[in-house]
Amino acid sequence: MWYTWASIEAFETWHHSACEHLGLPKASTNAETGAVDEKAQWTTTYTAPVLIAPNDVRAFVGSDIAGGVSDGIGAPCEQPVTTKPD
């Protein structure tokens, strides 16, 4: 589900809590063996914000995270519409 925050600072505060909840940052692992992949990039973020306007910052949040990290989560909203430049 998509959520909106009133500022990038409000989003970042919530996102920091979500990352702590998930134990991020963490090393990437090999999907077949589960072993840490020393050459792979670490996972450092949960989701990325989409800046619609200074007071409209949106991001997709899975229901499991929304329920687990609800303090400071934004308000449910529509998915942002993106267009390709001409």
pLDDT (tens digit per residue) in 29-76: 888 998 998 888 999 999 999 999 999 999 999 999 999 999 999 999
Is there a domain that residue 20 lies in? yes
For 1-82, list the strands marked E by DSSP.
Answer: 2-5, 50-53, 56-60, 75-77
Is there a domain that residue 56 lies in? yes
- Which pLDDT score, from 0 to 100, does residue 63 have? 96
- Which pLDDT score, from 0 to 100, does residue 86 have? 66
Which residue range(s) make up the domain with 19?
A: 2-25+42-77
Is there a domain that residue 37 lies in? no
Is there a domain that residue 46 lies in? yes
Instruction: Decide if 28 contacts 76 (C-beta within 8 A).
Output: no
Is there a domain that residue 84 lies in? no
| Omega prior to 54 cis, within 30 of 0 | no
- Which pLDDT score, from 0 to 100, does residue 2 have? 98
- Which pLDDT score, from 0 to 100, does residue 15 have? 98
Q: How many domains does the chain have?
A: 1
